[in-house]
């Protein structure tokens, strides 16, 4: 992948393919600052992992091509988490009052990750580090925020 090789579109979805989407990146999409990790307890429990990676983009950039089992859950006021009610895949989190969504990088299709992985996953912003597990995420480089970065 060259430094100018950026995707115009990628696809993704849940394990059972009941929820599928296509992302069309805006021409001015800031790939370098769109990747984040989160270490909050909710993301840990939703993913079953100690650290969660997401990619932020405008809600208008995501087109659902199948969403018959997509459900939104609000664990915190104004914050929504999208998941598949069939297979349980965690697909995104977003604030209901913002124009962006944060897609779970692990739900991007393999070919997109194989070709553009470093561009889609290289997080420079790390959220809810007040909840980090000592020794597990010390290797992360970039800005660390005790809570959110807003």
pLDDT at site 2: 47
**Residue 126 domain-assigned?**
yes
pLDDT in tens, 10-60: 999 999 999 999 999 999 999 989 998 877 788 888 888 888 899 999 999
**Residue 68 domain-assigned?**
yes
Q: Is residue 145 very low, low, confident or very high in pLDDT (cuts 50, 70, 90)?
A: low
| Number of domains making up the chain | 1
pLDDT in tens, 9-21: 999 999 999 999 9
**Residue 1 domain-assigned?**
no
**Residue 69 domain-assigned?**
yes
Q: Give the domain extent around 67.
A: 26-144
Q: Are 101 and 92 in contact (CB under 8 A)?
A: yes
CATH number of residue 83's parent domain: 2.170.150.70
**Residue 35 domain-assigned?**
yes
**Residue 16 domain-assigned?**
no
pTM attached to this predicted model: 0.86
Nearest by Cα to 10 from 86, 52, 65: 65
**Residue 121 domain-assigned?**
yes
pLDDT at site 67: 95
Please state, in angstroms and as integers, the Cα–Cα distance from residue 54 to each residue in 2, 28, 68, 101, following that order. 22, 19, 23, 9
């Amino acid at each position: 992948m060259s430094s100018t090789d950026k995707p115009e579109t990628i696809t993704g979805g849940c394990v059972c393919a009941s929820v599928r989407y296509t992302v069309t990146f805006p021409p001015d999409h800031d790939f370098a600052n769109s990747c984040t990790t989160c270490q909050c307890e909710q993301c840990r429990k939703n993913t079953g992992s100690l650290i969660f990676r997401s990619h932020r983009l405008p809600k208008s950039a995501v087109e659902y091509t199948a969403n018959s089992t997509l459900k939104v859950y609000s664990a915190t006021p104004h914050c929504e988490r999208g998941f598949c009610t069939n297979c349980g895949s965690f697909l995104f989190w977003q604030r209901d009052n913002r124009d962006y969504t944060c897609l779970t990088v692990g739900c991007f299709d393999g070919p997109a990750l194989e070709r553009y992985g470093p561009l889609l996953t290289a997080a420079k912003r790390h959220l809810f580090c007040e909840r980090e597990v000592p020794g597990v995420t010390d290797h992360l480089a970039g800005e660390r925020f005790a809570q959110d970065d807003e």
